[in-house]
Amino acid sequence: MHFRDRADAGRLLGETLRPRYGNRADVLALALPRGGVPVAYEVARILNVPLDVFVVRKLGVPGHEELAMGAIATGGAVVFNDEVVRSLGIPQSAIDRVIAGERTELERREREYRGDRPPLDVKGKTVILIDDGLATGASMHAAVQAVRALGPAAIVIAVPAAAASTCYRLRSFVDDIVCVITPEPFYAVSAWYDDFSQTTDEEVASLISPPQHANRN
């Protein structure tokens, strides 16, 4: 099974989620930018729930930025990989510098995507975290940890395509996980889309702009 594009994938994912999460006042959809936004737009439309973007920035180890020591996300949540921080003996001053730099970039992206609108309040809500697919699942795992710090009632991961092993591993961290297809071998997320062209910042801003799909608080 292949998806035509992210919108097509979002419609299929939305129909899969509709029986459990459609038209519920306690549900909201959060998209991981950029590729998750066109998917989440269709999901939110089908479920008739509010849509917002949830920006996650990796906190790279100084000098080895490809190695994540944690993540910072929308709402100010910061999560750490304690094992990495402890084993490398990273000083707090270095951690603070990385956080400051990534917070600046996160805030820039949020302004570009959301303008002056505040993020949706997730406290007490069922939050559906949506991306266009899961390979390693590292960004999604960071998003789950960051959302949990904001006090939701439940967290759901929803993606059109995922590696089966990643879907299985993340299941224990959330209340529900929905992966439309889990092909093996997985290769990469892009392999399951006919059109996997890059989503632009302008498209993200346009898709999450008001009016949103539901006017619930």
CATH topology of domain 6-56+116-207: Rossmann fold (3.40.50)
In CATH, what is the architecture of 57-114? Answer: 2-Layer Sandwich (3.30)
Structure-token pair, residue 8 = 């097509």
pLDDT over 60 at 157, yes or no: yes
Q: Work out the angle at residue 118's Cα, subtended by the Cα atoms of residues 179 and 156, and round it to the nearest 5 degrees.
A: 20
Q: Which DSSP helix (H) or strand (E) runs through 158?
A: strand 154-161
The 10s digit of each residue's pLDDT in 66-95 is 788 888 888 777 888 888 899 999 999 999
β-bridge pairing 154-161 and 126-130: parallel
Q: Which of 25-39, 43-57, 128-142, 199-213 has the lowest mean pLDDT?
A: 199-213
pLDDT over 70 at 216, yes or no: no
Structure-token pair, residue 72 = 């910072």
Q: Cα–chain-centroid distance for residue 116?
A: 21
Contact between residue 213 and residue 44 where contact means Cβ atoms under 8 Å apart: yes
The predicted structure's pLDDT at residue 77: 79
Burial of 37 (0-12, 13-18, 19+ CB in 10 A): buried
Boundaries of every domain in the chain: 6-56+116-207, 57-114
pLDDT over 50 at 212, yes or no: no
187 phi/psi in degrees, rounded to 5: 65, -85
Residue 68: name the closest of 85, 49, 93 by CA.
Answer: 85
The predicted structure's pLDDT at residue 117: 87
Q: How many CB atoms lie within 10 A of CB 129?
A: 25
β-bridge pairing 154-161 and 64-73: unpaired
State the pLDDT confidence band at 214, using cuts at 50, 70 and 90.
very low
State the pLDDT confidence band at 142, using cuts at 50, 70 and 90.
confident
State the pLDDT confidence band at 211, using cuts at 50, 70 and 90.
low
Q: What separation, in Å, do the N-terminal and C-terminal C-alpha atoms of the chain show?
A: 37
The predicted structure's pLDDT at residue 215: 44
pLDDT over 70 at 189, yes or no: yes
